[in-house]
A and B are shown apart, each in its own frame.
Chain A
């Protein structure tokens, strides 16, 4: 049995997701629920009706962006797991401009979006500078920045962006700074087009420009890149900034592009863990911007379908995130697939 070369990554990604779902079925069964009924509810909840499908896309929107953060990092040779914190500050930046700085209609929307992206990029500059000029390992520095960002964002949400009398959330985005809702029956807004557009833009940049080529070369073969005259510091900063822009946009999308709250919760509850979820999305999408869009739809379906699974079968939707981790774990093992190919796919 021979799969064509182009289809192999896709097949491997799908097989890994299937493996994650099997492991999840074992967990569901171990905690006393029927796996068949649970997965039936999961699929129905994600794709059963037109509204469910739109809601799946609404969940996919931030994920394709945080996946982009991780994917660009890998392309540039970095393990950037700082999307989480950059996303918090993106949400704060967008909330500030959208909720507290009145502007004319379309200008306001653009300004709030850009403010979120800029805030994410600025936060990404900290691990970028530490990596480029101090050689600090980005795994540790980005995680530390995530935790600092969590406390900083909660402080800002409660002190700077608070709405009097509403302790549980910040000021809402003014109507001039809200992305139009695409369908009254779902929370999908036009921000999904901005997210897809940004992913395509990054794709064009990485594969169509000289700077993008240098970034990928530095990630693929740092020695070759250095001999070719690519400055490693420049690549590190560029990689982090693109990632920060994407993560910041992800945070902004949950404030100015997601009803009904149109604001940031004081606990950051409507954005937390979206950054870490992006890692699995990126890996399933083979660290490619377009693969990330497809991966995001898949994980968005898990998130949306997980709600019906919890409602109908009683399997907690937290399990979906555990599934995500199992998928990441399995994606790390290249030998798994050559092993399976050798054992089962040879005639």
Chain B
């Protein structure tokens, strides 16, 4: 991804976090004033955060190791479809989540393999996956369920949510938070994490040290794909309750924005995912609040998550340093 020379963002990062927290708090208060309970905002926010966080955390690991996967959107779409199919076969939402994660793992591994062994242009290969999903998912929908564009599955396949003080929380959301913490510990507290970071910065040194550059990168590619696949299967099974052909609606790219925003740090990526998730929450809150929904056209409400992402990408991107070999294949001299 783009490497921009270090700016003021890096040094005053805490100021930005303060501003973000204040914005969220202010939004919550003003929503309360127009008659919307902040709990449902947080509830939707956490649901929307989950797929973004899972994919972003995985992609942080992947990019630390020097690979780029812009096919996250495709993994979301295909894993959502295959996930619902698996859930119906296994009569359980959890089987669906596992199926989605496995689908993501295969897609991540495939992209990793062409990047590592085929020395592919990773951005083009990832985009190829996205274009493929654009046709393959509608094709799968009609082939599997003989109905175009949408499929509603039995309600009992939904992953049950846990009641908490901040609303109904999905166990997958808990898993996403755990994944971010574990990824952080993996990167910064373990030998494997050190190797992953080294392979992104100095693959030749890792190679000379007798470690396998290819295997490390395939590992992160598969891990990243697995997490994104879990996030994709969560979309219908943990959140929407139905499958539509454009189910991920750009979320794969919003997850990429989280990664860029976070400078490849999983915990920061989790925070970014929460921020974008809340933007999604605000959008769906405005869309259903009486008094507000009549005044703001639905089409403009739908734009909110994308406008927020665009604004964040525009304002906050400076001061991020990426591994020196990100997106470039490694070849022994």
Contacts and interface: CB of A to CB of B under 8 A. Distances in A.
Given A137-B1, A276-B134, A328-B131, A316 B143 contact: yes
A280 B125 CA distance: 11
Contacts of A152: 299, 303
A176 interface: no
Given A147-B249, A328-B124, A136 B314 contact: yes
Contacts of B152: none
Contact of B309 (A81, A140, A322, A335): A140
A136 B7 CA distance: 14
A115 interface: no
Given A130-B310, A155-B297, A137 B253 contact: no
B16 to A, nearest CB: 15
B257 to A, nearest CB: 5
B143 A325 contact: no
Given A151-B303, A322-B139, A325-B130, A332 B309 contact: no
A336 B121 CA distance: 12
Contacts of B299: 151-152, 154-155
Interface in A298-327: 316, 318-327
A40 B66 CA distance: 44
Given A130-B310, A151-B303, A276-B134, A143 B128 contact: no
A40 B310 CA distance: 46
B150 interface: no
Given A130-B310, A155-B300, A279 B1 contact: no
Interface string A333-346: 11110000000000
B70 to A, nearest CB: 6
Nearest to B261: A140
A38 B83 CA distance: 29
- Identify whether the interface residues of B are mostly helix, strand, loop, or mixed: helix
A318 B318 contact: no
A325 B300 contact: no
B108 to A, nearest CB: 14
Given A316-B142, A325-B134, A144 B317 contact: no
A69 B130 CA distance: 18
A101 B180 CA distance: 55
Contacts of A273: 134
A144 B129 contact: no
> Which of B118, B132, B134, B317 has the most chain A CB atoms closer than 10 A to its own CB?
B132
Nearest to B126: A332
Contacts of B133: 325
Contact of A140 (B128, B260, B297): B260
B306 A148 contact: yes
Given A135-B317, A140-B253, A329-B129, A334 B136 contact: no
B124 A331 contact: yes
A154 B298 CA distance: 11
Given A140-B260, A316-B139, A332 B303 contact: no
B306 A322 contact: no
A31 interface: yes
A307 to B, nearest CB: 14
- Identify whether the interface residues of A are mostly helix, strand, loop, or mixed: helix
B253 A151 contact: no
B114 A332 contact: yes
> Which of B127, B142, B143 has the most chain A CB atoms closer than 10 A to its own CB?
B127
Contact of B250 (A79, A144, A318): A144
Contacts of B123: 79, 139
Contact of B136 (A135, A280, A325, A331): A325
Interface in B90-137: 114, 117-125, 127-136
Given A320-B135, A325-B131, A333 B120 contact: yes
B4 interface: yes
A331 B128 contact: yes
Contacts of B260: 137, 140
A79 B125 CA distance: 12
B253 A144 contact: yes
Nearest to B135: A321
Given A130-B313, A151-B303, A332 B132 contact: no
B138 interface: yes
Contacts of A277: 131
27 contacts: A130-B310, A130-B314, A134-B317, A140-B313, A141-B313, A144-B250, A144-B254, A144-B306, A144-B310, A148-B307, A151-B303, A155-B299, A155-B300, A276-B130, A276-B131, A277-B131, A318-B142, A319-B136, A323-B135, A324-B132, A329-B125, A329-B128, A330-B128, A332-B121, A332-B122, A334-B121, A335-B119
Interface of B: 1-2, 4, 70, 114, 117-125, 127-136, 138-139, 142-143, 249-250, 253-254, 256-257, 260, 297, 299-300, 302-303, 306-307, 309-310, 313-315, 317-318
Given A134-B315, A151-B302, 6 more contacts: A136-B2, A137-B260, A144-B306, A322-B134, A326-B128, A335-B119
